[in-house]
Amino acid sequence: MTKYVRAAGTMLAVAALAFAAGCGDDDDSGGGGGSATTGGGGGKKIALLLPESKTTRYEAQDRPNFERKLKELCSDCEIIYSNADQDAAKQQSQAEAAITKGANVLVLDPVDSASAASIVTRAKQSKIPVISYDRLITDADVDYYISFDNEQVGKLQGSSLLEALGGGSGKTIVMINGAPTDNNAKLFKAGAHSVLDGKVKIAKEYDTPDWSPDKAQTEMEQAITAVGKSNIDGVYAANDGTGGGAIAAMKGAGIDPKKVPVTGQDAELAAVQRILAGEQYMTVYKAIIPEAEAAAELAFALAQGKEPPSGLVNGEVDNGQKQVPSVLLKPVAVTKDNVADTIIKDGFLKASEVCTGEYKSACDAAGISG
Ligand code: BGC
């Protein structure tokens, strides 16, 4: 089911999230009120629980940016970090362990949006607030949600693909969606269908367990066998990892990926290089740095029993149990034409890491100077 999203006013611009934090007193009262402008923190423990590591964003962006921001806000806070490697049961025990270690707040990016509700119930028994990070935890008493407009992510992917296919009329595509256990994947899929349906023929469609790139590759191999290698005009892939799997399958079958547009999401290094080389058509750039920083700001405030910094919360999302106060950021579609003005300009990836060896001339052509 598509969740209802209402953002108050315009989505936050990346810069609008910048929140000035000074140093100051601790507040162990646990009582609401006040704003989180303190730097001491009183040795609070903040748990960051991420879902997987096959997608590079978590270890390359979310974790380091969250940790850096939190240390900036509170030098004596302790971060309890774990990554569940796509395993919901493992995440459950990691959350238990964080609670046992005395976590004052959980920042939880759930492997499974529904079953993570039991983690929230457990945390609430110990009066520990929970921030639903990037993926919504459904039917649970979460305190806040920080993410992007995820249906819009799917719309951007779908409309870019249509654009690459000259409007789509008479064209055939394969759809490779994300994990059915991830609420985001449902939103990406719904957004994509809302623009693709009726415009192109969807010959095959898959939901990809665990978002695994290798499973996406197998799905694409099956699609090529079923549909025929010369009958596929484009591929909707929900993220860069699954897009990479689809491209590998095409190469394996002797299809030139430069002739078949493939979508993606996350602005992963390898995907941005494929875009510059012409092997992947687009990605969706989500400014993960402000997402992670907002999570750190919010977590630090909640750990001290304070209100969120003013201006941070800009919407609310229905998770099936309640309207969850939310921080919602804006995704951006990126093709070869605007890599320089988005991903590179923001410092999300450095020209020096993108423009290595074989990508140098493609970088020059795209106006990226390494
Ligand atoms: C995230 C994506 C990510 C995917 C796989 C989604 O919930 O929003 O950025 O690619 O999970 O981990």
Q: Which amino acid is at 27?
A: D
Find out whether the beta carbon of 182 lies less than 6 Å from any atom of ligand 1: yes
pLDDT higher than threshold 80 for residue 148: yes
- Enumerate domains of the chain plus CATH numbers: 5-148+287-329 (3.40.50.2300), 150-285+332-365 (3.40.50.2300)
Report the residue among 83, 133, 184 best suited for mutation to probe ligand 1: largest number of ligand atoms under 8 A from its CB.
184
In this structure, what are the phi and psi dihedrals at residue 72, rounded to the nearest 5 degrees?
-65, -40
Mean predicted confidence (pLDDT) in 231-250: 98
Mean predicted confidence (pLDDT) in 32-41: 45
120-147 confidence digits (pLDDT tens)? 999 999 999 999 999 999 999 999 999 9
pLDDT higher than threshold 70 for residue 34: no
How many CA atoms within 13 Å lie on the side-chain side of 51? 25
Q: Whose CA is nearest to atom 6 of ligand 1?
A: 184
pLDDT higher than threshold 60 for residue 28: no
Q: Cα angle at 330 between 324 and 333, to 5 degrees?
A: 140
Report the residue among 53, 61, 239, 242 best suited for mutation to probe ligand 1: largest number of ligand atoms under 8 A from its CB.
239
The residues facing 173 across adjacent strands are: 202, 234
SS3 49: strand
pLDDT bin (cut points 50, 70, 90) of residue 369 is confident
Rounded to two decimals, the pTM is 0.90
pLDDT higher than threshold 60 for residue 166: yes
Nearest to 238 by CA among 318, 143, 153: 153
C-alpha of 146 from chain center: 10
The full DSSP string for 163-189 is HHTTT-TT-EEEEEE--TT-HHHHHHH
Pair 287, 105: CB distance under 8 Å: no
Contacts of 84 (CB under 8 A, 6+ apart): 49, 50, 51, 52, 90, 91, 94, 111
